[in-house]
């Protein structure tokens, strides 16, 4: 089968290479063999390929990417809920292939990911794709979508109608959070450094937009918009460089959901959260049940993930370069 691998010790996108690998073995037990039809990129994937992820450069040749959608090719003798021909998406965190009770394994590192034509999964590591979603749309859900769902409705008090959500940026997690907040009846404030990106999200029902280059103290604009109250939920993808402003922007009894680490700097004093009775939560994707709830919400609300750029299998390096440059909104997908 065709695949891409990150060579051991790699620290650049240019090191990523396309290879021919032996097909996975026939599935056994509760294993399912899937032919991947589309995959998508997350910021984590770029960090892994350039050796900047928290574990450092990969220590063995590794197939990248964690988010894929495809068709079941074959199933093991103990599989009861899937059959060849079924359309499925993989969960970000996978049960071990041997069915042991060990901790789940993260795709793309340390476990081989889905930038390959064929991959084995445990049955419980897969979710069915509703008919209305294309392969490319389905490939957007596993990491960014589930993370956004967990941030809004999993950790802390669930976001509800009439509340206000602040979304930092226009990447994958941020736009999933934007769409989910609107489904819940909440108002949304979006920040970006680009007027073009802010204009592009208008059709998604955004009430307020802030260009943070024009307003570097963007938390003050948030407070103006909310009449000094602050927001009920901050989807914080910036990290320590923006966290202090998020603390100022959140309102009483609100929550700041720490998801990304795109910026650096000294961590802010959390005392302001205590005064507001607000909370800070770390988010790391979510559960299979949350995945299913996310997909059901998109299906029932006739919504679709936002795809910013599309690439072919031979254009993988270009896809990574665009991810690094940030010249897109929503998700980057690769058709297999």
User: For the segment 167-195, what is each residue's pLDDT rounded down to a tens digit?
Assistant: 999 999 999 999 999 999 999 999 999 99
Q: pLDDT for 31-63, tens place per residue?
A: 999 999 999 999 999 999 999 998 899 999 999
Summarised one tens digit per residue, pLDDT across range 3-22 is 999 999 999 999 999 999 99
* Residue 164: pLDDT band with limits 50, 70, 90: very high
Residue 127 pLDDT greater than 80, yes or no: yes
257 within 8 A of 278, measured Cβ to Cβ: no
CA-wise closest residue to 298 among 308, 309, 290, 310: 290
Contacts of 307 (CB under 8 A, 6+ apart): 136, 137, 140, 330, 331, 332, 333
Determine whether 155 is exposed, middle or buried from the number of CB atoms within 10 Å of its CB (0-12, 13-18, 19+): middle
pTM equals 0.95
Q: Can you tell me the distance from the alpha carbon of 77 to that of 188, in angstroms, rounded to the nearest whole number?
A: 48
Alpha helices in the chain (DSSP H): 43-49, 135-138, 146-149, 172-183, 195-200, 218-225, 240-249, 271-276, 288-300, 316-325
Structure confidence at residue 49 (pLDDT)? 97
For the segment 242-297, what is each residue's pLDDT rounded down to a tens digit? Answer: 999 999 999 999 999 999 765 556 777 888 999 999 999 999 999 999 999 999 99
Per-residue pLDDT, 103: 84
- Which residues are 208's β-sheet partners? 189
- pLDDT surpasses 60 at 138: yes
Which has the closest alpha carbon to 1: 49, 35, 28? 35
Convert the pLDDT of each residue in 60-98 to its tens digit.
999 999 999 999 999 999 999 999 999 999 999 999 998
pLDDT for 308 beyond 70 = yes
**Could you write out the DSSP letters of every residue in 118-178?**
EEEEEGGGEEEPPTTS-HHHHTTIIIIIHHHHIIIIISSSPP-TT-EEEEESSBHHHHHHH
159: Cβ contacts below 8 Å, ≥ 6 apart = 152, 153, 165, 180, 181, 184, 186, 232, 233
Q: In terms of CATH, what superfamily is 144-282?
A: NAD(P)-binding Rossmann-like Domain (3.40.50.720)
Instruction: Give the contacts of 128 (CB within 8 A, at least 6 positions apart).
Output: 82, 86, 87, 88, 89
Distance of CA 17 to the CA centre of its chain: 24
Is 163 or 262 the better-scoring residue by pLDDT? 163
CA distance 5 to 62: 5
* pLDDT score, position 265: 65
Three-state DSSP at 336 gives coil
* Residues above pLDDT 90, as percent of the chain: 91
Question: What is the average pLDDT score of the chain?
Answer: 95
Predicted local confidence at residue 86, as pLDDT? 98
Rounded Cα distance between 132 and 232, Å, is: 32
Please name every residue paired with 32 in a beta bridge, in sequence order, or none if there are none. Answer: 75, 121
| 209-229: average pLDDT | 98
* CATH superfamily entry for domain 2-140+305-335: Medium-chain alcohol dehydrogenases, catalytic domain (3.90.180.10)
Domain boundaries, the chain: 2-140+305-335, 144-282
DSSP lists the bridge partners of residue 62 as: 6
Q: What pLDDT shows up at residue 274?
A: 93
Cα separation of 240 and 135, whole Å? 35
């Amino acid at each position: 089968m065709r695949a891409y691998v990150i060579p051991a010790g790699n620290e650049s996108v240019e090191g990523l290479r396309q290879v021919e690998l032996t097909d996975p073995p026939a599935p056994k037990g509760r294993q399912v063999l899937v032919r991947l039809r589309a995959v998508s990129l997350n910021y984590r994937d770029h960090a892994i390929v350039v050796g900047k992820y928290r574990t450092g450069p990969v220590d063995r040749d590794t197939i990248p990417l964690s988010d894929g959608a495809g068709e079941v090719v074959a199933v093991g003798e103990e599989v009861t809920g899937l059959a060849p021909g079924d359309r499925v998406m993989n969960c970000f965190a996978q049960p071990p292939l041997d069915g042991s009770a060990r901790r789940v394994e993260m795709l793309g590192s340390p476990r081989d990911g889905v930038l390959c034509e064929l991959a084995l999964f445990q049955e419980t590591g897969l979710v069915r794709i509703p008919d209305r979603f294309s392969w490319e749309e389905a490939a957007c859900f596993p990491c960014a979508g589930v993370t956004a769902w967990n941030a809004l409705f999993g950790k802390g008090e669930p976001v509800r109608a009439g509340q206000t959500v602040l979304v930092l940026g226009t990447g994958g997690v941020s736009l999933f959070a934007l769409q989910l907040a609107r489904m819940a009846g909440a108002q949304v404030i979006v920040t970006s450094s680009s007027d073009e990106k802010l204009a592009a999200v208008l059709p998604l029902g955004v009430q307020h937009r802030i260009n943070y280059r024009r307003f570097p103290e963007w938390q003050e604009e948030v407070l103006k918009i909310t009449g000094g109250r602050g927001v009920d939920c901050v989807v914080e993808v910036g990290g320590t460089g923006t966290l202090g402003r998020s603390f100022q922007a959140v309102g009483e009894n609100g929550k700041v959901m720490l998801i990304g680490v795109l910026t650096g700097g000294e961590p802010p004093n959390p005392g302001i959260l205590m005064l507001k009775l607000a909370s800070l939560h770390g988010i790391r994707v979510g559960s299979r049940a949350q995945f299913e709830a996310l997909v059901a919400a998109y299906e029932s609300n006739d919504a679709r993930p936002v795809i910013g750029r599309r690439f072919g299998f031979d254009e993988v390096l270009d896809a990574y370069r665009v991810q690094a440059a940030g010249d897109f909104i929503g998700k980057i997908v690769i058709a297999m």
